[in-house]
């Protein structure tokens, strides 16, 4: 099938909630703003709740609804499977899709364990021999300001990297009466703040520096041990059995760790969902011999750059408004100074994936990149469980 002379790629998405909506708008909007080699066709959205999935399908233009993910993998009109489900299902769905010859986009973190992630990498590498591609969804790489930061580091603007600081601060469960959800159940989520938001800053700092984390010393904490169970969780495995009861929280509320990078830089990481007043504050600062770069997602169109080679009398952090046509991704959107937002990074993700598939090359970040993050998360948990002992991250 072709649209406006371009071949189409049938998309089947499993999951329809928060990430499902973000991915849906990306698939829908990408061809409206970017000149793509392939046109995504929103073939089917999947979810166990047909009514809820159908409502999302109607809002975003999905052509059909499936209540079994296996049907999405089996359908001949679907070329790519987009996995937007909780972490405990990532490996099963992604591996089945790859073995069926479907390209795969899988939300982060890649899996709930290193073993699952290794199996997914093996499946992806095998599928790649037949031209089938797989990518993990670390979308913050595609925020224009952060893509610019990566470019500047590659160009040597900050010199040799000495120190990295990374924080991801949220407050959405700081109230002890916030209801229990799947994100607080280790069986489904794998871990808490560490895997949910800590995974982002682990990947992002490795992406920005071009280096890998080699070792960590960590601690984790669960401040609220039990939470009320909403009605929709009644009777589900791992939660309290009836409305009005409380469920045990089996993941971390916060994770903090020291780290060292392969190039010798030291680093501090902090991921918490208990930072009252911080809604989505992903912050990264990189200090090098020749300068520094600083970014805060709550001001996502701005990158701060310090040139350490300037004379002290007039040196200072420069505020770069990342909205110029020469900045990554920006030329497809609005005139300079007209800001873009959170949802645009998902559109950029769709654009990059479609382009890589059309060019018959592996997209980034690969499943192998996702495995590298998973190994860091596992090392953090191992260190925290062993009195913050320094723990090496396997290559």
Query: Is 351:27 a contact under the CB 8 Å cutoff?
Result: no
Report helix angle 144-154 to 199-209, nearest 10.
Answer: 40
E strand or H helix at 248, and its extent?
strand 246-248
Instruction: For 283-305, write each residue's pLDDT tens digit.
Output: 999 999 999 999 999 999 999 99
The residue-averaged pLDDT of 270-280 equals 97
What does the block give as tokens for 239? 């939660």
Query: What's the rounded Cα separation, in Å, for the pair 339 and 279?
Result: 19
**How high is the pLDDT of residue 376?**
98
pLDDT score of 1 more than 90: no
The residues with which 259 forms a beta bridge, in sequence order, are: 216, 267
SS3 helix, strand, coil % of the chain, rounded to 5? 35, 25, 40
CB atoms within 10 A of CB 104: 28
For residue 320, give the 3-state DSSP assignment: strand
Round the average pLDDT of the chain to a whole number and report it.
95
The residue-averaged pLDDT of 98-122 equals 98
What is the distance of C-alpha 208 from the center of its chain? 15
Instruction: For 219-268, write each residue's pLDDT tens digit.
Output: 999 999 999 998 766 555 555 554 568 999 999 999 999 999 999 999 99
The residue-averaged pLDDT of 259-283 equals 98
**How high is the pLDDT of residue 65?**
98
Q: Work out the percent of the chain whose per-residue pLDDT is above 90.
A: 94
Query: Is 217:383 a contact under the CB 8 Å cutoff?
Result: yes
**What domains can you pick out in the chain, each with its CATH number?**
2-139 (3.40.50.720), 140-391 (3.30.360.10)
Query: Is 238:141 a contact under the CB 8 Å cutoff?
Result: no
Please give the C-alpha separations between residue 41 and each of 98, 274, 333, in angstroms, as whole numbers: 19, 40, 22
Instruction: For 177-205, write each residue's pLDDT tens digit.
Output: 999 999 999 999 999 999 999 999 999 99
DSSP state of 245: -
Please give the C-alpha separations between residue 224 and each of 179, 229, 376, in angstroms, as whole numbers: 11, 14, 25
**How high is the pLDDT of residue 135?**
98
Query: What's the rounded Cα separation, in Å, for the pair 229 and 290?
Result: 52
Exposed, middle or buried by CB within 10 Å (0-12, 13-18, 19+), for 256? buried
pLDDT score of 38 more than 80: yes
Query: What's the rounded Cα separation, in Å, for the pair 188 and 252?
Result: 13
Q: Work out the percent of the chain whose per-residue pLDDT is above 70.
A: 96
Strands 391-392 and 2-3: unpaired
pLDDT score of 13 more than 80: yes
Instruction: For 341-382, write each residue's pLDDT tens digit.
Output: 999 999 999 999 999 999 999 999 999 999 999 999 999 999
Query: What's the rounded Cα separation, in Å, for the pair 243 and 235?
Result: 9
Band of the pLDDT at 324, cuts 50, 70, 90? very high
**How high is the pLDDT of residue 242?**
47
For residue 126, give the 3-state DSSP assignment: helix
CB atoms within 10 A of CB 155: 8
The residues with which 307 forms a beta bridge, in sequence order, are: 291
Phi-psi domain of 345 (left: phi exceeds 0; alpha: psi -120 through 50; beta: other): alpha
pLDDT score of 15 more than 60: yes
**How high is the pLDDT of residue 237?**
56
**How high is the pLDDT of residue 238?**
56
**How high is the pLDDT of residue 234?**
54
């Amino acid at each position: 099938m072709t649209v406006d002379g371009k071949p189409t790629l049938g998309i089947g998405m499993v999951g329809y909630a928060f990430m499902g909506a973000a991915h849906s708008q990306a698939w829908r909007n990408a061809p409206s703003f970017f000149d793509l080699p392939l046109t995504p066709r929103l073939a089917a959205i999947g979810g166990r709740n047909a009514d809820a999935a159908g409502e999302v399908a109607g809002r975003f233009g999905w052509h059909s609804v499936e209540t079994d993910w296996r049907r999405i993998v089996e359908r001949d009109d679907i070329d790519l499977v987009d996995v937007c489900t909780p972490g405990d299902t990532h490996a099963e769905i992604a591996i089945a899709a790859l073995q069926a010859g479907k390209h795969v986009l899988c939300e982060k973190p890649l899996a709930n364990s290193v073993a699952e992630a290794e199996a997914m990498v093996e499946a992806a590498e095998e599928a790649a021999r037949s031209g089938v591609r797989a990518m993990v969804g670390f979308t913050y790489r595609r925020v224009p300001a952060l893509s610019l930061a990566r470019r500047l580091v590659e160009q040597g603007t900050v010199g040799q990297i000495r120190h990295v600081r990374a924080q991801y601060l949220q407050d959405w469960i700081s109230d002890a009466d916030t209801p229990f959800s799947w994100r607080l159940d280790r069986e489904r989520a794998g871990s808490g703040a560490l895997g949910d938001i800590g995974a982002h800053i682990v990947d992002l700092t490795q992406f920005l520096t071009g280096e890998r984390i080699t070792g960590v010393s960590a601690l984790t904490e669960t401040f609220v041990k039990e939470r009320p169970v909403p009605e929709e969780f009644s009777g589900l495995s791992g939660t309290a059995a009836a409305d009005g009861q409380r469920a045990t929280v089996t993941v971390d509320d916060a994770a903090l760790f020291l780290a060292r990078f392969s190039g010798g830089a030291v680093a501090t990481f902090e991921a918490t969902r208990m930072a009252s007043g911080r809604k989505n504050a992903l912050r990264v600062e990189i200090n090098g011999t020749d300068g520094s770069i600083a970014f805060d997602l709550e001001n996502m169109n701005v990158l701060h750059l310090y040139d350490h080679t300037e004379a002290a009398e007039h040196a200072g952090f420069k505020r770069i408004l990342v909205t110029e046509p020469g900045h990554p991704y920006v030329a497809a959107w609005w005139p300079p100074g007209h800001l873009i937002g959170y949802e645009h990074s998902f559109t950029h993700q769709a654009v990059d994936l479609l382009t890589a598939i059309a060019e018959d090359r592996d997209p980034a970040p690969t499943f192998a990149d996702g495995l590298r993050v998973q190994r860091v998360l596992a090392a953090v948990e191992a260190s925290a469980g062993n009195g913050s002992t320094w723990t090496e991250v396997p290559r």
